[in-house]
């Protein structure tokens, strides 16, 4: 008969073997920003990409931990933490060496957006003639405005749409899906109009460069699975009120559904 110490040791080993996959899954952590469009801590509408990526984790049998942090800190924590995952992250040359890029979820078009009744802004040249262009601080959109030589005013993501609604800026330069959803959720009565696409942001899921528990091929297969099942398109409809035919995942413009 086994003595108590040996039995306890065997029990411990068996419990670790049984719990192994679950423990390994919990080693993966998501560092995200709490913002209303893609990743939010809200229990009612958790955000387009939260729903998409969590459905992918179900396909893969993963149970990641989720932490919401200020955006800059989320990026730094991902760079410093093995098996940390971050999204949506725009893939830019300056960010390229800091992460391992798992898979691209989709492209979003960026343009000058203002209220109907004003002159449509289709080019940087036109924008330079307008006083008061708003953009979110520290984004690729801000970098693009610098490259265009367009004067601008910076805001946080939560401040951008109220600034346009209150006429504190004449136009904003931002991603169209975000504007469509943010404007609709706020209930503003004015209708938006969208200039020509001047920038395309590829939104990726990225991970720490030393993430041994994140297998790119599994994530890519999971993304393809939820697209084939129709889940991805249902989320497009839920959050942006658009049909798949209205928006090409290769980066073409998203129409205003209102």
Query: Does pLDDT of 4 surpass 60?
Result: no
Per-residue pLDDT, averaged over 163-168, amounts to: 97
Question: Angle, nearest 10°, between helix axes 231-240 and 176-186?
Answer: 50
pLDDT category at 26 given cuts 50, 70, 90 is: very low
Write down the H helix ranges in the chain. Answer: 4-26, 48-60, 71-80, 124-127, 140-148, 157-165, 176-186, 216-228, 231-240
Measuring CA to CA, how many Å separate 178 from each of 13, 44, 159, 231?
Answer: 49, 18, 13, 20
Per-residue pLDDT, averaged over 208-222, amounts to: 97
Per-residue pLDDT, averaged over 165-194, amounts to: 93
What local confidence, expressed as pLDDT, does residue 243 receive?
A: 58
* CA 86 to chain centroid: 9
Give the predicted TM-score (pTM) of the model: 0.73
- Residues with Cβ < 8 Å from 245, sequence gap 6 or more? none
Which of residues 222 and 3 earns the better pLDDT score? 222
SS3 state of residue 45: coil
Per-residue pLDDT, averaged over 37-49, amounts to: 87
Which of residues 225 and 186 earns the better pLDDT score? 225
Average pLDDT, the chain: 85
């Amino acid at each position: 008969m086994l003595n108590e110490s040996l039995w306890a040791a065997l029990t411990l080993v068996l419990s670790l073997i049984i719990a192994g996959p679950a423990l390994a899954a919990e080693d993966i952590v998501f560092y995200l920003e709490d913002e209303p469009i893609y990743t939010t801590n809200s229990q009612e509408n958790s955000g387009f990409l939260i729903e998409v990526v969590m459905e992918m984790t179900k396909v893969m049998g993963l149970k990641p931990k989720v932490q919401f942090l200020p955006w800059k800190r989320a990026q730094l924590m991902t760079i410093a933490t093995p098996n940390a995952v971050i999204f949506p992250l725009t893939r830019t040359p300056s960010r390229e060496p800091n992460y391992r890029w798992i898979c691209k979820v989709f492209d979003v078009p960026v343009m000058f957006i203002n209220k109907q009744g004003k002159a449509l802004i289709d080019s940087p040249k036109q924008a330079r003639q307008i006083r008061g262009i708003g953009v979110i601080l520290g984004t690729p959109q801000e970098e693009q405005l610098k490259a265009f030589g367009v004067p601008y005013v910076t805001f946080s993501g939560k401040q951008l749409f109220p600034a346009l609604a209150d006429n504190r800026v004449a136009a904003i330069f931002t991603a169209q899906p975000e504007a469509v959803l943010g404007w609709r959720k706020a209930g503003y009565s004015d209708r938006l109009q969208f200039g020509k696409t001047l920038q395309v942001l590829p939104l990726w899921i990225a991970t720490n460069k030393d993430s041994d528990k994140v297998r790119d091929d599994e994530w890519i297969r999971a993304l393809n699975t939820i697209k084939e099942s129709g889940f991805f398109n249902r989320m497009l409809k839920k959050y942006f009120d658009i049909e798949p035919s209205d928006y090409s995942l290769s980066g073409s413009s998203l129409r205003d559904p209102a």
